[in-house]
Amino acid sequence: MPTKDHTLEEWKYKLREQIARQQELLRTVKQTHREKYPNAPIIDSDHEDFCYIRNLKKPKCNLGARIVKAHAVIPAGRQATALNRAHSVGRIRSKVRGITVAQFAWEQLNPAG
C-alpha cells in the first residue's frame, strides 16, 4: 500500500487504466457474442434480469453451461417480483423475493446428488 499521496494517486491512475482496458475488452466480447449468436437470448451483466442469475448459489453459476442453463430461472424470478409488486410490496423486497424464487427454481434444476 502506498504511503505517500502522489504514489497513491499513481496507483489509482493505473487501476483506472486497467479498468478501462477491461471494460473495452468486455464490450468487444459482448459485441462478438451478439454477432456470432444473433438469435440467442443474451442476458449480460448490464441487463435488468441478470440479478436473478448473479445471486445463484449451490451450485454456483460460474461456468458457461450453467449460465446458459440459469436462463430458465429468470421467468420464475420475474413472475415472483411482479406478483409481489401487484400486492403492493416494496420494490426492493419484491426483487429480493424474486431472487429467492429464482434460487429455488435453480435448486430444482440442479438437485443435490
Q: pLDDT by residue for the chain (113 residues), tens digit each? A: 777 888 889 999 999 999 999 999 999 998 998 899 888 777 777 788 888 998 899 888 888 888 888 889 999 999 999 999 999 999 999 999 999 999 999 999 988 75
Residue 12 confidence (pLDDT): 92
Is 88:67 a contact under the CB 8 Å cutoff? Answer: no
How far is 57 from 79, CA to CA, in rounded Å? 20
Question: Which grid coordinates are listed for 99?
Answer: 431472487
Residue 73 confidence (pLDDT): 93
Compute the C-alpha angle 4/5/6, nearest 5°.
95
Residue 18 confidence (pLDDT): 97
Is 74:56 a contact under the CB 8 Å cutoff? Answer: no
Residue 77 confidence (pLDDT): 95
Residue 113 confidence (pLDDT): 56
Residue 47 confidence (pLDDT): 81
- pTM equals 0.69
Is 78:52 a contact under the CB 8 Å cutoff? Answer: yes
